[in-house]
Amino acid sequence: MTARLRKLINDLAESFWLLPALLVIVGIVGARGLVVVDSQELVPEWLNGWIYNGGATGARTLLGAVASSTIGVAGTVFSITIAALSLAAGQMGPRLLRNFTRDRGNQITLGIFLGTFCYALVVLRSVRMPDEGAFIPHLAVSAGIALAFVCVATLVYFVGHMSGRINVDTVVGLVSEDVRDVMRTLATEDRESAPPPPEFWRDAEPVTDDRRGYLNQFDEDGLATWACENDAAIKMLVRPGDYVFPGAPIAMISPPRDGAAEAIRAATALSPQRSTSTDLLFAVRQLVEVGVRALSPGINDPHTAISVLDRLGSALCEMKPLRLQTGVAVKDDRTVLVVPHVRYDELVGAMFHMIRQNAAGKPSVLIRMIEVMTWVVSCERDPARMEAVRKHADLVMRDAERDVGSPSDLSDIRTRHRAFVDMIAEGPRSSLKAS
């Protein structure tokens, strides 16, 4: 149940409608509250010189103008926004549109316009002409006028906000923040237990699942507790972000226990699409997609690809004091749960493979890729991690020798590769050779 609750909270946090709906409710409740204050004549006397003091006809006209203008502007602004996002999707990828829909600035803008619209309607229905009993909520009408000015300021803010948000550098920065957030969530500074040897699972039996979808949330602690209480060990075959195929094994359990399938089902929550909240590789691939699209013949924007490489290198440098989780849960001094987690070499591969493959014949991108790797190994001195990065630097060099036709460009790439090799061998002192 914890996994499903996490999924619900995550879905609500990333939904576009929640914040606007709350602001609409605030507008309706606020309108009713101010109308009650007016009807009971609770308005302080010192406010009399600042609030609306016209008649019922003027109040209806003002509130009608506020309601019609706010809903009209809201529709026009967001129609233009959808057109702008359609163009942005073609350049940066449709999967990045979620970064616009979950943007708090966009949500607050829509909520203010719709909340003001609902506020004006609720107050408008309380205004009565003399032949209807003569009631004018002066304070509520004044607040409606103030909200109209707030909407004007919000419109100015929204135009500037959206023009900055569709900038490719801004998008790259936002997606790279997602990568860093997920990386910090899934990494730890402590050394975790190593997975048990293959012989440990010799008598294990598969546990199948009839559901389909991407594993969105996983309650590791809850499932580990169940395995400990039932004196069993579970090896998950999928991790957050993996697709669960109906009827296929989702885990192995040793020894077999009744209720294992139900326990795994309760500890997992599936979704029709992947999410960056717990899926590090998906967050990385969103950033990589921007770089790959920038290298396509239709766009041909190597500067954006270089910007993506810089952010990827920055993420790897921040990984220096951290260790990726092993996914091993130990309770009562024995292994009860093993979940496959992202390995460092797998992470580096997700970052560089596709960009390198699409950067064939583009020396500027290949040069920057090796330079970024050089910076990574300058601060990362773990031998296994440096070897993982070196593998990709060597692949870049081999691709360059095959695809780069200019001897001058090829010489520049070789120079960068030699500097990379020296950095691995000698550390930051190798940079003194170039000075």
User: What is the predicted pLDDT for the residue at 373?
Assistant: 95
Contact (Cβ atoms closer than 8 angstroms) between residue 431 and residue 423: yes
- pLDDT surpasses 50 at 435: no
User: What is the predicted pLDDT for the residue at 43?
Assistant: 65
| Residue ranges of E strands in 276-344 | 323-324, 328-331, 334-338
User: What is the predicted pLDDT for the residue at 320?
Assistant: 87
Looking at every residue in the chain, the average pLDDT score rounds to: 86
User: What is the predicted pLDDT for the residue at 160?
Assistant: 85
How far is CA 67 from each of CA 13, 71, 115, rounded to the nearest angstrom?
29, 6, 10
Percentage of the chain with pLDDT > 90?
Answer: 43
- pLDDT surpasses 60 at 46: no
Contact (Cβ atoms closer than 8 angstroms) between residue 249 and residue 235: no
> What's the rounded mean pLDDT across residues 118-133?
87
Query: pLDDT digits over 270-295, tens only?
Result: 988 887 777 888 889 888 988 998 89
Q: For 272, which DSSP code?
A: S
Which pair of structure tokens corresponds to residue 276?
């960056």
Contact (Cβ atoms closer than 8 angstroms) between residue 214 and residue 273: yes
Reported pTM: 0.80
What CA dihedral angle connects 358, 172, 286 and 188, to 10 degrees? 120
User: What is the predicted pLDDT for the residue at 167?
Assistant: 77
> What's the rounded mean pLDDT across residues 185-202?
80
How far is CA 123 from each of CA 31, 39, 137, rounded to the nearest angstrom?
6, 12, 8
Dist. CA 435–CA 427, nearest whole Å: 15
User: What is the predicted pLDDT for the residue at 48?
Assistant: 62
Query: pLDDT digits over 339-391, tens only?
Result: 988 889 999 999 999 999 999 889 999 999 999 999 999 998 889 999 999 99
> What's the rounded mean pLDDT across residues 105-110?
88
